[in-house]
């Protein structure tokens, strides 16, 4: 009896999770008749003539491709800034006794609890003023995204360094390796998968981010993909066009979210030192 209820509840939940994603996919492969019904017939749950025309037309739209490139640039710049600033800090936080460590970590967390929508106007005002206004929008958005994702990067990277036993380095040095050699040959290879996960996480955060990109790119012509989607929405285009862009934004996020999770779970060095 209890089991049956549980199975039913799980089935309902899975339906509620999958259904919206299915609908998004359905719209993105819909033909015109399945979207513009005019009320003569109900909207079908599967298009009359499924096709990939929307994606084909997207692939030759210059404004869409331009936004995609801007999104990629912002994402990679954010990753670069975050790793450059965050990884050394995380290494220091994980390896050295730093006075006031708890306060620093609390500060990192509290920065993230500060509402984005409250922080965005001051940040935007600062970026609109000289000297920061001289930066191209791509860089200013990347700097703003760095602000958002740096605490996460530091947290993840700190966890990565903490999971690598210090003894490994010390043992290699006992065996005659120099500090630099043991750093490059022991620490870096062991940390790389975890840091890769941190980089992917940072990239996804930037790829998804809407508020800061929207405020910083409000007046310009350049836009990241989420901002492009919003601009498209104001023309109220056909549903299949909206759905195709939305799905395009989703795909890398869905793929990489699960890739990152797998990386996080692998106990890399479990049992390396006994």
Partner 1 sequence: MLRKTKSYSIWEQIKDNLFIIGITIPSFLYLFAFLVIVLFYLFKFSLGEGLPILSVFAEIEFREALWRTFWFMLVGTPLQLVVGIILALLVYESFKGVGLIRSLFLVPIAIPALVTAVIINLLFSYPFGHINDLLLGKYVFFPKILSFPLNFSGSEFFSIGLAMLGKVWRDMPIAMLIILAGLQTIDREAYEASEIMGASFWQRFKYITLPLLTPAISTVLILRSIENWKEFIFPFIIAPAYPLLGVLIERLYHVEQNPQLACACALWLVIFIGTTTFLFTFLTKTVRSQLIKV
Give, as ranges, the residues between 126 and 185 that touch partner 1 (CB under 8 A): 126, 146-147, 150-151, 154
Neighbouring residues of 200: CB distance < 8 A, sequence distance ≥ 6: 256, 259, 260
- CB atoms < 10 A from the CB of 134, how many? 8
Considering only the C-alpha atoms of the chain, give the largest distance between any 2 of them, rounded to a whole number of Å. Answer: 81
Determine, following the binding rule CB under 8 A, whether residue 33 of this chain makes contact with partner 1: no
Q: CA-CA distances (angstroms) from residue 63 to 207, 221, 271?
A: 17, 10, 52
Q: Angle formed by the axes of helices 62-95 and 137-163, to 10°?
A: 40
Residue 215: Cβ within 10 Å count = 21
Is 70 near partner 1 (CB under 8 A)?
A: no
| In the complex, least distance from residue 224 CB atom to partner 1, rounded to whole angstroms | 11
CB 120 within 8 A of CB 215: yes
- State which of residues 49, 56, 63, 125 lies at the interface with partner 1 (CB under 8 A): 125
80 binds partner 1 (CB under 8 A): no
d(CA 73, CA 67): 10
Cα gap 220→171, rounded to integer Å? 56
- Is residue 85 a contact residue for partner 1 (CB under 8 A)? yes
CB of 104 to partner 1, least distance (A): 7
**Minimum gap (Å) between residue 209 Cβ and partner 1:** 9
Instruction: Determine if 27 is a binding residue for partner 1 (CB under 8 A).
Output: yes
The label of the residue with tokens 């700190």 reads 158
Residue in 57, 59, 61, 98 binding partner 1, rule: CB under 8 A: 98
Indicate which single residue of 48, 52, 106, 107 sits in contact with partner 1 (rule: CB under 8 A). 107
Site membership for partner 1, residue 96 (CB under 8 A): yes
Residue among 4, 60, 102, 117 that touches partner 1 (CB under 8 A) = 117
Site for partner 1 in 201-260 (CB under 8 A): 208, 210-211, 215, 218, 226, 229-230, 233, 239, 242-243, 246-247, 249-250, 253-254, 257-258
Task: Kindly tell me which residue out of 4, 38, 175, 267 binds partner 1, with binding defined by CB under 8 A.
Answer: 38
- The nearest distance, CB 239 to partner 1, in angstroms, is 6
Q: Is 261 in the site for partner 1 (CB under 8 A)?
A: yes
Smallest gap from residue 109 Cβ to partner 1 (A): 11
Question: Least distance (Å) from partner 1 to the CB of residue 220?
Answer: 14
CB 49 to partner 1: min, Å: 19
Name which of 200, 201, 224 is nearest 212 in CA terms: 224
Which of these segments, 50-58, 72-80, 117-125, 181-189, binds partner 1 (CB under 8 A)?
117-125
DSSP conformational letter for 39: T
Distance CA 226, CA 204 (A): 12
Contacts of 204 (CB under 8 A, 6+ apart): 252, 253, 256, 257, 260
């Amino acid at each position: 009896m209890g089991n049956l209820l549980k199975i039913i509840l799980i089935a309902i939940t899975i339906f509620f999770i999958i259904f919206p994603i299915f609908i998004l996919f359905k719209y993105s492969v819909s033909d015109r008749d399945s979207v513009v019904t005019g009320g003569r017939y109900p909207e079908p749950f599967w298009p009359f003539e499924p096709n990939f025309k929307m994606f084909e037309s997207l692939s030759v739209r210059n404004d869409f491709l331009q936004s995609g490139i801007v999104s990629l640039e912002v994402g990679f710049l954010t990753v670069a800034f975050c790793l450059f600033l965050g990884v050394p800090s995380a290494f220091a936080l994980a390896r050295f006794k730093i006075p006031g460590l708890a306060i620093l970590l609390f500060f990192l967390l509290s920065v993230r609890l500060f509402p984005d929508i409250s922080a965005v106007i001051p940040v935007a005002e600062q970026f609109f003023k000289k000297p920061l206004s001289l930066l191209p929008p791509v860089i200013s958005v990347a700097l703003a995204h760095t602000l958002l994702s740096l605490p996460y990067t530091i947290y993840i990277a700190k966890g990565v360094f903490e999971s690598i036993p210090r003894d490994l380095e010390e043992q290699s040095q006992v065996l005659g390796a120099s500090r630099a050699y043991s750093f490059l040959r022991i620490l870096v290879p062991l940390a790389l998968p975890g840091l890769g996960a941190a980089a992917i996480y940072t990239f996804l955060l930037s790829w998804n981010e809407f508020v800061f990109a929207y405020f910083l790119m409000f007046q310009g012509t350049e836009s990241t993909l989420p901002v492009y989607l919003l601009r498209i929405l104001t023309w109220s285009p056909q549903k299949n066009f909206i759905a195709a862009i939305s799905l395009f934004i989703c795909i890398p996020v869905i793929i990489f979210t699960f890739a990152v999770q797998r990386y996080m779970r692998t106990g890399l060095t479990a049992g390396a030192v006994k």
